[in-house]
Chain A
Amino acid sequence: MPGPVQSIQRGAAILRLLARSSGRLGVGEIATSLGLARGTAHGLLRTLQLVGFVEQDETSGKYQLGAALLHLGTSYLDVNELRSRAINWADALAARSGEAVRIGTLLDGQILVVHHVFRPDDTLQTLDVGALLPMHATALGKVLLAYDAATTATLADGPLEAYTRRTIVAPKMLARSLSAIREVGWAVEVEEMTIGEAGVAAPIRGHGGLVVGSIGISGAVERVCDSKGQPKAPLVTFVRDAARAVSRDLGASRW
């Protein structure tokens, strides 16, 4: 088994140090307290700042614990900020795919629609931002489940509600479908929520690869899927590209 990772230990020490000091600390003070080279301390602080765990005062240059630490369990990323950061890419996805785009996040075991772009055909459509969708019956939801073992576990007792004949209702089936999603990195839904409708979605990741939401298209099954009932490959590519672009803007480096 590999040994402990030194930089994480040091990062934790910096957080403890900041937490027990009443005021802000300068990089020199932190380096001295922990017996680190100034440059090392600075590098660690920069990374902690990037993920929001420490904040630097603009005028004094000193550090304190970041607001993100106080909300560790709740709001990693404000949903309105997610929308604001994703809006350009969601628009481009709708324009490329010709389908409606939605962005979802997890809220109490359901999908909260935080952003919605109309299908670009100028027909009458209604914004459904704020709507709640079931996780197991939508591509947006299944993507989030695929990367969230804890929420998936809450569904294990089943049975899951059936919206159509094709909704996955057996937890075992769902588990299989989630592992397939993890394998390919995207999810599809074919008439599982609404008859005649299909959707494709991919995960949006933040710093360190944490999944913070999902983005997807949905539309008439004959437009989204080919004659074999598989989602059309170009649409899948558009969705994954959009998800990657948003993730990159949010600071996820590898995606």
Chain B
Amino acid sequence: MVMRYVMSIDQGTTSTRCIIFDHRGRLVSVTQREHRQHFPRPGWVEHDAAQIWRNLERIAPEALTQAGVGLDQLAAIGIANQRETTLMWDRRTGEPIGRAIVWQDTRTDTLVEKFAARPEAAMVQERCGLPLATYFSAPRIRWLLDHHPGLRERAERGEVLFGTMESWLIWNLTGGPEGGLHLTDVTNAGRTLLMNLETLDWDDDLLDFFGVPRAMLPRIRPSAETYGVASRVLPGVRIAAALGDQQAALFGQTCFAPGEAKCTYGTGSFLMLNTGAEPVRSSHGLLTTVGYQVGDEPAVYALEGPIAITGALVQWFRDGLGLISSAPEIETLARTVEDNGGCYIVPAFSGLFAPHWRSEARGIIVGLTSYITKGHLARAVLEATAWQTREVVDAMNADSGLELRTLKVDGGMTSDNLLMQDIADVLNVPVVRPMVAETVSLGAAYAAGLAVGYWPDLEGLRRNWHRAAQWLPAMDPRRRAEEYDNWRRAVERTFDWIKPHP
């Protein structure tokens, strides 16, 4: 019998990954390529979408070769992607219009202030579940339309298309200028500020509010459904799922029941709680968002606590400060000292996301004395991720009225044992990592495999989940309370740094 597999594409913030999984959800091969981060001005972050596409063209065949798997053995492709990153391209040539504006980019801050000052502004969160913030796509679409002469007219005529990364990849995989499919899924569309959370369709009032022409928008589809067949790179293979990376991780962790939660630790970190068929509104700074939608079944909603900067702080420690030469060395350096020495780093590089939502905040290092070494700074870098998690978990507990009992984790930072122990310590709950750390990819593969019948049902997927590691809390409660208090005082000092625009 010929073995069959599912391929996932994880188009992330720092890299694109292709992973092939077998029927038991085990990784068979993995290929990866980083793309360049462009920081043309403070607060601006851009990607070259053409480079990302070229990377995929390269790594997808490599993944097949590495696994010794033929195209005919691929049951389906599933895509997970960095969310909210905003891109436009020319429908005729396939050329991107400038560089993609990445989710961490804050150039739309004044624009967002203006939108927020409008009388109808409250409608935004009511309709789409998300606060008006630079984090989401609609203000970026507006910014691009305002800054490229003639672009709005071309967008209105449907000559210029908008998409997040999954739309861009699907359009290119299915032929690009020659009949490429222009579509997105509910989890990605739900991050634009333009999708109505109840109807799961573009909302005319929101389109009006942001001044976005409907003609440039992709069609919104379920997260798991056969969208079409690839004609390039992986010709003949069905494309059967697309999810925002965080939702893909929720799926990959098999958090299929209300009350199940996970946190994914990558560039940023994202706590997500399945809330079932009803969108739950947060009163503690969390987002209401779509978790996933399988075929024509009802959508499953989620509460989300996004943290903008976690792994990115480690990255900055490596590239910006040059204190380490690879991300994992942060742990080695941190273990050269016993504690943080009184030093705290609050990485409000793009303002603070959940639960604060302070776009005017900027990062700080406090508690500096001559005693502080780079080892202490490394500790403070890791602890920043732990404490930021604590803040979103507290918000989640308050919103749901339930106490989180264990935290399921995944993502690149989970290979950091010191960090995982820190998180268990500050949350005072066990932290559990599943057997596939690349849970984002696994979730995209699961959704695609489900759509084409490669896997029969959600219960079958659940049985693939196994515990790979567990960290138990071991921190003196008094110290935990003191440290948390210090952390909160540090956070307060980041507020109001960027002055309001006149």
B327 beta carbon closer than 8 Å to chain A: yes
Q: Cβ of A96 and Cβ of B469 under 8 Å apart? A: no
Q: Contacts A88-B30, A91-B435, A117-B435 known; A78 to B467 CB distance under 8 Å?
A: no
CA distance A125 to B433 in the complex (A): 13
A interface, size bucket = 20 to 34
CA distance A137 to B86 in the complex (A): 56
CA distance A212 to B330 in the complex (A): 20
Interface of chain A residues 195 through 253 with chain B (CB within 8 A): none
The SS class assigned to the A binding surface is helix
Q: How many chain-B residues does the 8 Å CB contact rule pick out?
A: 29
CA distance A61 to B26 in the complex (A): 41
Residues of chain B within 8 A of A89, CB atoms compared: 27
Q: Cβ of B327 and Cβ of A116 under 8 Å apart? A: no
Q: Contacts A88-B27, A96-B26, A127-B469 known; A83 to B415 CB distance under 8 Å?
A: yes
Give the residue of A80, A83, A120, A130 whose beta carbon is less than 8 angstroms from that of B468. A120
B253 to chain A, nearest CB (A): 14
Give the residue of A79, A92, A129 whose beta carbon is less than 8 angstroms from that of B332. A79
Residue of A at shortest CB range from B418? A80
Give the residue of A84, A94, A127, A130 whose beta carbon is less than 8 angstroms from that of B415. A84
B93 beta carbon closer than 8 Å to chain A: no
Residue of A at shortest CB range from B421? A127
CA distance A88 to B326 in the complex (A): 18
Q: Contacts A92-B27, A118-B469 known; A81 to B326 CB distance under 8 Å?
A: yes
A67 beta carbon closer than 8 Å to chain B: yes
Residues of chain B within 8 A of A132, CB atoms compared: none
Q: Cβ of B331 and Cβ of A120 under 8 Å apart? A: no
Q: Cβ of B328 and Cβ of A95 under 8 Å apart? A: no
Residues of chain A within 8 A of B437, CB atoms compared: 87-88, 91
- Tell me which of B329, B330, B469, B471 has the highest count of chain A C-beta atoms within 10 A of its own C-beta: B469
Q: Cβ of B30 and Cβ of A78 under 8 Å apart? A: no
A122 beta carbon closer than 8 Å to chain B: yes
B22 to chain A, nearest CB (A): 9
Residue of A at shortest CB range from B32? A249
Give the residue of B326, B416, B438, B466 whose beta carbon is less than 8 angstroms from that of A78. B326
CA distance A14 to B330 in the complex (A): 31
Residues of chain A within 8 A of B331, CB atoms compared: 80
A121 beta carbon closer than 8 Å to chain B: yes
B267 to chain A, nearest CB (A): 15
B320 to chain A, nearest CB (A): 13
Q: Mark B419-440, 1 if CB is under 8 A from A, else 0.
A: 0000000000000000111100
Residues of chain A within 8 A of B467, CB atoms compared: 118, 120, 122
A60 to chain B, nearest CB (A): 15
A132 to chain B, nearest CB (A): 16
Q: Cβ of A95 and Cβ of B415 under 8 Å apart? A: no
B262 to chain A, nearest CB (A): 16
Interface of chain A residues 82 through 130 with chain B (CB within 8 A): 83-84, 87-89, 91-92, 94-96, 116-118, 120-122, 125, 127, 129-130
Residue of A at shortest CB range from B27? A92
CA distance A125 to B467 in the complex (A): 10
Q: Cβ of A83 and Cβ of B328 under 8 Å apart? A: yes
Q: Cβ of B435 and Cβ of A87 under 8 Å apart? A: no
Residues of B in contact with A (beta carbons under 8 Å apart): 24-28, 30, 325-332, 412, 414-417, 435-438, 466-471
20 intermolecular pairs with C-beta atoms under 8 Å apart: A78-B332, A80-B329, A83-B415, A84-B412, A84-B415, A84-B416, A87-B414, A91-B27, A91-B436, A92-B28, A94-B468, A95-B24, A118-B466, A118-B468, A118-B469, A120-B466, A120-B468, A122-B467, A127-B469, A130-B417
